[in-house]
A and B are shown apart, each in its own frame.
Chain A
Amino acid sequence: MSIEVKNIYKKFGNFQALENLSLKVETGELLALLGPSGSGKTTLLRLVAGLDFLDQGQVLFGDKDAQDKKASERGVGFVFQHYALFRHMTVFDNIAFGMNVQPRKVRPSRHEIHSKVMELLKLVQLEWLADRYPWQLSGGQRQRIALARALAVRPRVLLLDEPFGSLDAQVRKELRMWLRRFHDESHITTLFVTHDQEEALEVADRIVVMNQGRIEQVGTPEDVYHSPVNAFVLNFLGNVNFFHCRLEEGKAIIGGTALDVPGLDVDKPHPAKLYVRPNQFKITRYAPKGSALKALVEYVNPAGTIVKINMKTETGERIYAEISQDEYKNLKIVKLEQVYVSLKDVTYSEHLHNIP
């Protein structure tokens, strides 16, 4: 089942939470809504679920307008950040709830409910917890039970509101991978909200980057990471360095040093902002052939799969770079050493108009 929202508006008091937003989630897709808090991503999710009323616009499930349908009639599975499990019910009863409240005519038999719950517990790998109460479980276990509960009603659409937001880093990673595997097997249309760019990049088929109630960019993780359409998307997805410079004849003049900038055409000299990802720097011990920025190494952290280096140029600009362990072994730099930094590539440049 695909979901489409068309030109929706939502206001809370004086705060415009969503402004003329349109989006289509294709059938079987795993789509992440990514943005800072207050960007409207949770509001959008709640409007799709029918948990809030929209001011203007349309929500379509398939090609049917869902406007008049209450949350209980939309056939969505909703998972909350803080689990929202029923604390007076056992894990079993929590999962069975959605089936138990069905009208008698369509409600599965007790036996069917039992086997369905057990099947779901197996799916989330927590079979042995059926008789426990939610307060006896860890955060990760609770969220898996919440997922099982949402899936019990065979939802046409799965909506997850920062599902892993309140879990430890380790558990979060584990559940993230689990969700991706589950989606690959079930192909249920899934919309999930997160403010964690790493999570979105790792799990989603497509990412919707939101800011101030509007969509900034929609694309595959690769698209939004490598070809951001604006500085906001670039900043939000991963670390980035930025330099004020002047572009002249294919070179960027940063603090008096003219740097070669690959792949940048300049017809007329003008001021600009350059955005450079941490892995787009080349660091050398001796001055390279072209020109390079002289910088002082302030901090080196080789723990991890990559080596993180903080530097400061002669003119006071700070650079955060990441190099591979191999490069690091060749370089053998330590704190307070002098190095030369040149650009391998630039992710994004913002061209400013010449001020006469």
Chain B
Amino acid sequence: MREFFVKKSILPGFSLSLGFTIFYLSLFVLIPLSMIFLKTSTLTFQQFIQVITAERTLAAYRLSFGTAFVSAGINAVFGLIVAWVLVRYTFPGKRIVDAMVDFPLALPTAVAGIALTELYVPTGWLGQYLQMAGIKGAFSPVGITIALTFIGLPFVVRTVQPVLEDLDPQIEEAAASLGANRWQTVTMVILPVIFPALLTGVTLAFARAIGEYGSVIFIAGNMPMKTEIAPLLIMTKLEQYDYPGATAIAVGMLLISFVLLAAANFFQWLTSKNLGKV
């Protein structure tokens, strides 16, 4: 029977390691997640729909997913440029720049939030220039996007970097010798190869941004209907001891995220299945 499931392998320990993996995932992912569904199920379906379609909830969803999407898009472009510069050029201080990319991961998010708020308030160093251009920095969706872009950057850079490093410079030379200009080389030869990795990085940054709480609450201003992100709305519900309401909003977020991530993964598979291992 066992042979039916498992292709015989020379590597020992398959059952043990698979068993451990399932145990580990259950303990840290599946059980906690199922608690959310369990808690939500104390609501009737009607009540559940009511909570997640309340105007305030919908506004929070729109804000959270919208800003996360925009920030992931910004990181797709600029993260790619940062990774490109770090891989392709040598310059003094390159290692320091390389280390700086990880800062957003290591910094306590609240610290980042406070620092960004300080910078982008209308009287802040950078906020005053935004003000002049007629844009409100902190306490607006722009501010939220800035914070989410900040924390998402390392995900894009760190997933694209190794793939760029593996890219054979000779394929660019081949393209050039065949008459392609620089733009054609980048769009037709380089981008298609790194696209799956870029998509993975952007997806990670997006997922991280949806759930981000610490850095956003300082810069957002948290006005209901305007600058209140979904995780904050959940916190608010929790503070009012409305546990089923809070988990219902969480379930709504989970479902939307699941659909989006599944789509991203499918697209990633689609674009990488023909790349092979040359």
Contacts and interface: CB of A to CB of B under 8 A. Distances in A.
Interface of A: 49-51, 70-74, 76-78, 80, 82-88, 97-98, 101-102, 133-136, 146, 149-150, 152-153
Interface of B: 168, 170-171, 173-181, 184, 188-189, 192-193, 274-278
- SS class, residues of chain B in contact with chain A: helix
27 contacts: A50-B177, A51-B177, A71-B177, A72-B176, A72-B177, A72-B178, A72-B179, A72-B180, A78-B173, A82-B170, A84-B168, A84-B174, A85-B278, A86-B174, A87-B193, A87-B278, A88-B274, A97-B175, A97-B178, A97-B180, A98-B178, A101-B179, A101-B184, A101-B188, A102-B179, A136-B276, A150-B177
B171 A84 contact: yes
B156 to A, nearest CB: 20
Given A71-B173, A97-B175, A135 B277 contact: yes
Which 5 residue pairs are nearest across A and B when measured between Cβ atoms?
Answer: A135-B276, A98-B178, A84-B170, A78-B177, A84-B174
Contacts of B181: 72, 101
A78 B276 CA distance: 24
A74 B177 CA distance: 8
Contact of B275 (A76, A88, A101, A153): A88
A98 B278 CA distance: 20
Nearest to A51: B173
B179 A153 contact: yes
Given A72-B178, A87-B278, 7 more contacts: A71-B176, A82-B170, A84-B174, A86-B189, A88-B193, A97-B178, A101-B179
B238 to A, nearest CB: 48
A136 B168 CA distance: 18
B185 to A, nearest CB: 9
B275 A87 contact: yes
A133 B177 contact: no
A74 B277 CA distance: 31
Contacts of A77: 177
B88 to A, nearest CB: 16
Contact of B174 (A70, A74, A78): A78
B274 A149 contact: no
B233 to A, nearest CB: 43
Contact of B180 (A80, A87, A88, A101): A101
Contacts of A102: 179
